[in-house]
Structure 1
């Protein structure tokens, strides 16, 4: 069963990795992805909004899909919400499996599907005092589509 958290606080990747592998002797590989807020075009903050409950259920469905496709021994998804500054982490995807290929593929699948299927609304704030809502990107849809029918 995947560990799913949607929280304001930053996460500790080392602690999450230790928790996912603690006491396990069947883990042969751990893959992870950490998304970090970057300061493009004068960005001063990224504000992520979500509907509690709905967001966790959507992420749980995405994680369950990964667990059905790959033989994972652990799966962790932590996604932050609220105001995030450049350089701060936004999302952690962590997968563990007996073999590296499953861990790597599941991790890539999870981040691709989170970008397109997890219900977050993103607003960029700029040093100028302006802001804008982030629109969906065609390249994210293309990345997610590669997993359609994949096993």
Structure 2
């Protein structure tokens, strides 16, 4: 499948780039439901989704797609902690949306229910957004790298 043509169909005129680790597009206002419908129609496989805090405190969500021999990464922003669900279009997104909800308290709008995946029923969502500085989210990958570097005696 032609990834360039797929990207142009999804967002005509939208900027993207080919990197060593695949195609990347950062589209903060991406219509994720239209994206999911197009990918399903083109038989593109959802590999996973990644949630990660942005520098401004927003949550970036990256949809990773397997497009034949290429990896396609589409990044968008959760507006006020909310994104439309795609789990009704692509059932593979169900567990991933639940995990992102557990870690970052993101609401996936349109889901009938969002049972915890990683937390207990009694735990409040937002495990990684709970810090002593209210309003700041800590990226667990950065925290892990810092901890490892401190143990190694250097920085990474």
| Same structural fold, with TM-score higher than 0.5 when normalized by the shorter chain | no
TM-score scaled to structure 1, two decimals?
0.29
Greater relative contact order (Cα < 8 A, sep 6+): 1
